[in-house]
Amino acid sequence: MARALLPARVLTEPVLIRGTGLLGTSIGLGLRAAGAEVWLADPSPSAQAVAVDIGAGDPFPAVDDGGSVAPDTPQPGTVVVASPPDVTGQVVVDSLRRFPDAVVLDVASVKGAIAAEVQTAVGNGALTAAEAARYVGTHPMAGSERSGPVAARGQLFTAAPWVVCATEETDPAAVAAAEEIARNLGATVHRMSAEDHDASVALISHLPQIAASLVSSRLQETPAASLALAGNGLRDTTRIAASDPQLWVQILAANAPEILEILYGVRDDLDRLINTMEDPSAPGARLDIAQLIAEGNAGHARIPGKHGGPPQAFAVVTVIVDDTPGQISAVLQDVGVAGVNVEDLRMDHSAGYQVGMLEISVLPGRRQELTDALTARGWKVV
């Protein structure tokens, strides 16, 4: 668990985290593990108490909900706003006013709307331009399925992308603080404008969520006998449909214009498919259907592979394992003995059987070697 200490330049003063949900609490845990002093504040005393109890930081000694800055308020060097998306902009503005020397960053998943709220505050005189320059918007792309402080973990951000959206007006100290927090939590920094960020997440995060919800919604009345036939195709396509409605209302509403552009395209494709399917023997109908699937092939092939490298087709070696402790580890121990690296791994379960299929992805050139090695050691390789 050895970590580099955070550079003194950024965190000689305490970090105040406002909002102790999954993200705020996880950031607190991670920063404390890195040696930082962390203060926690949440409008919900119980959420704050849980976060304190699990070691994410100390309670902030002087939250003043009136919004004015009490003269004896302790001053953090950095404020991380991890409030619900709907109130993030307001808490950012409040933090910039309340803590005149602090860098303020937020971690909400839509960035343009919050930057606009900060600019509105400048426009109406609530903030000076110099105050606004201490703000930088960020988005750590981790942890969307579970929620609340109980699910928090300091290494939530390990190997996750952390987008930082600086503008020409942003104080370089704010950018440096954000990037150093991100790096110290193990994330990879991606610099991007708020506009590019919001367009990106509309496509790679919000559209998949909507699609998973639309598909899952159709299952509400399905007979159990039909659902018993479900395989990994349905499971994978709908996994994220289990997400929190209250959180997603805020995300989708905040990024509505970007999402709408994409949904118009989806609706056009869907209308075209429906028209075609209404008369599948009409001239050109089959070409239309094949075109939709082929366009899906083309888009899917652009998703980067492991570690951000180019998409790579791994070879899959499938091994049958019993549902007893130690079986999977025994297989993988033999994979290790064979000296073959596991590039990816998944279990495939089906209804009615007490066995599973362990799908081991390896570099294509190693497939035969691994198959032979596992077969020689008595495994059922299929």
Shortest distance, position 131 Cβ to its own copies, whole Å = 27
Site residues (CB under 8 A) for its own copies, limited to 79-118: none
**Which is nearer to its own copies, 124 or 226 (by Cβ)?**
226
The reply to whether 284 sits near its own copies by the rule CB under 8 A is no
Chain-centroid distance, C-alpha 261: 22
DSSP 242: G
DSSP 199-233: HHHIIIIIHHHHHHHHHHHTTTT--HHHHTT--HH
Long-range contacts of 268-273 (CB under 8 A, 24+ apart): 269/295
Is residue 210 part of the contact set for its own copies (CB under 8 A)? yes
User: Any contact of residue 304 with its own copies (CB under 8 A)?
Assistant: yes
Which residue, 12 or 246, is less far from its own copies as judged by CB? 246
Q: Which of 35, 175, 169, 162 is nearest to 104 (CA)?
A: 175
Please list, residue by residue across 3-42, b when 16 or more beta carbons sit within 10 angstroms of its beta carbon and e when fewer do. eeebeeebbebbbbbbbbbbbbbbbbbbbbebebbbbbbb
Q: How far apart are CA 242 and CA 205, in angstroms?
A: 14
CA distance 91 to 99: 12
**Positions 212 through 231 that interact with its own copies (CB under 8 A):** 212-220, 222-231
Residues 130-169 touching its own copies, rule: CB under 8 A, are 141-142, 144, 153-156, 158-161, 163
Residue 13 vs 244, nearer CB to its own copies: 244
* Residue ranges in 334-353 that form contacts with its own copies under rule CB under 8 A: 334-336, 339-342, 344-347, 349-353
DSSP character for 302?
A: T
* Per CB under 8 A, 1 contacts its own copies: yes
Query: Which of 97, 183, 237, 369 touches its own copies by CB under 8 A?
Result: 237
Q: How far is the CB of 133 from its own copies (least distance, A)?
A: 25
Contact flag: residue 234 with its own copies (CB under 8 A): yes
Instruction: Could you list the beta-strand ranges (E) of 67-134.
Output: 78-81, 103-106
Interface size with its own copies, residues (CB under 8 A) = 140
- Per CB under 8 A, 122 contacts its own copies: no
Q: Which of 49, 173, 176, 292 binds its own copies (CB under 8 A)?
A: 292
